Amino acid sequence: MERINVVYYVVTFGEPMVATVQPAAALKAESLGLVLDNTSFVPYYEQIVNRVRTLIKDNLLHEGQVFCSEGEIARALGISKMPVRQAFQKLRSEGLLIIAKGKRPIIGSGRVPWDFQQLRGFSEEMRRRGLVPSAKVLALDLEEPDPETAQALKLRLGEKTYCLKRLRFVNKKPVALVTSHLPVRIFLGIEKHNLEKQSLYHVFENVYGRKLHWAEEVIGAVTAGEEDARILQASPGSPLLVIKETTYDVQHIPIEYSVSLLRGDRYTASVVSVRKK
């Protein structure tokens, strides 16, 4: 799908992604206590992932610490690089490992990087990263749109919208509160669908025949109020990433206007910018 970006920067909340850097030689693969269970049905790569998660959880590995290379882990375990590479990819998708070309891996913060270069739904993006997404519908109401929503969706006077509010989870942890505004004339009867089990983009394309084409986002920052903090299980006043997005179909008709509040300690937003000649 073609993508049009209206923002050209990276937004990161919380502590810097890379803290103090330890000497590369400070960490030995043998010191990680990695032991593979040959009798287990759990694949090798998953055993490695689980061990690294535990080390981070127990504060034995710290954000910014230089980690072992794939080769070092493979040699210490006496296995090929393939399962180690799979483990590194999964840890990277969870934000637990930062991997840059030509450099040694670094322990990350656990924040999930969100790539705006592709138009993907939340569930699709999280599954692509090897994570487990889920959702809880908090409300689905018929409403008179406010001026901001009406303008974004190019609504005619008197048109109504559905207001769908969902709490999004990654690996059972709340990460985002998403409010979607949908034109009733396009999505009449959408309340009949299970929007906790089905991706909203899937419903758009496969139920209503609205093929997605592009979206524009405005990214900002707010602090969590009492209610939003309660829902997201965050502290009042903690930083939230706010993304206002208008999604268009192949006929360039706006079909969704959403406002997402994402926990700043669990999300980063990444956008690649290109200088035009």
What pLDDT is stored for residue 107 in this prediction?
A: 85
Amino acid making up residue 86 = Q
Phi and psi of 193, rounded to 5°? -100, 150
Phi-psi group of 130: left, alpha or beta (phi > 0 → left; psi -120 to 50 → alpha; rest → beta): left
Over 60: is that where the pLDDT of 171 sits? yes
Instruction: Pick 85 or 30 by higher pLDDT.
Output: 85
For the 24-107 domain, the top CATH level (class) is mainly alpha
What pLDDT is stored for residue 113 in this prediction?
A: 60
Q: Which CATH number fits domain 111-270: 3.40.1410.10, 3.40.50.300, 1.10.4010.10, 3.30.9.10?
A: 3.40.1410.10
**Where along the chain do its domains lie?**
24-107, 111-270
Over 60: is that where the pLDDT of 4 sits? no
d(CA 200, CA 193): 10
124: pLDDT confidence band, cut at 50, 70 and 90? Answer: confident
| Percentage of the residues of the chain whose pLDDT score is greater than 70 | 81
Average pLDDT, rounded, for the chain:
82
Over 90: is that where the pLDDT of 261 sits? yes
Record the pTM. Answer: 0.65
The pLDDT tens digits of the residues spanning 101-121 come to 788 888 876 666 665 555 567
